[in-house]
Amino acid sequence: NAGVTQTPKFQVLKTGQSMTLQCAQDMNHEYMSWYRQDPGMGLRLIHYSVGAGITDQGEVPNGYNVSRSTTEDFPLRLLSAAPSQTSVYFCASSQGQGGYSNQPQHFGDGTRLSIL
């Protein structure tokens, strides 16, 4: 099983550029989420989705957009990259049964993004 696949693994952008981080899962999970990981700050939730067509904001949503057109895919878009968005980005998925937070999450290997 591939699990959660993130592409690209590394990316360097210039300030103001836009890009899309890809995330795909093959486990038929309803819940998908994006986190950013910064030194000393743990993982912070950017956006999440509880199913196709349903998304919501997390703790740090500004500067990011998401959409969920299929169960499998949950891309994260940076509209106009800023140096403050330099981070490691993780996509995660989990099964959903009512209260989703009782399910462990499956993580991708991350995308390391640098904004110059």
State the residues that interact with another protein by CB under 8 A.
4, 31, 35, 40-45, 48, 50, 56, 58, 90, 92, 98-105, 107-110
Give the residue with the Cβ less far from another protein, 41 or 116: 41
Residue 1 Cβ, how far from another protein at the closest point, in Å? 14
Q: Report the distance separating Cα 87 and Cα 99, nearest Å.
A: 29
Give the residue with the Cβ less far from another protein, 72 or 109: 109
Give yes or no for a contact between 6 and 109, defined as CB atoms under 8 angstroms apart.
Answer: yes
The token pair at 51 is 């199913």
Q: Report the distance separating Cα 12 and Cα 24, nearest Å.
A: 21
Residue 16 Cβ, how far from another protein at the closest point, in Å? 28
Residue 103 Cβ, how far from another protein at the closest point, in Å? 8
**Residue 4 CA to chain centroid, in angstroms?**
11
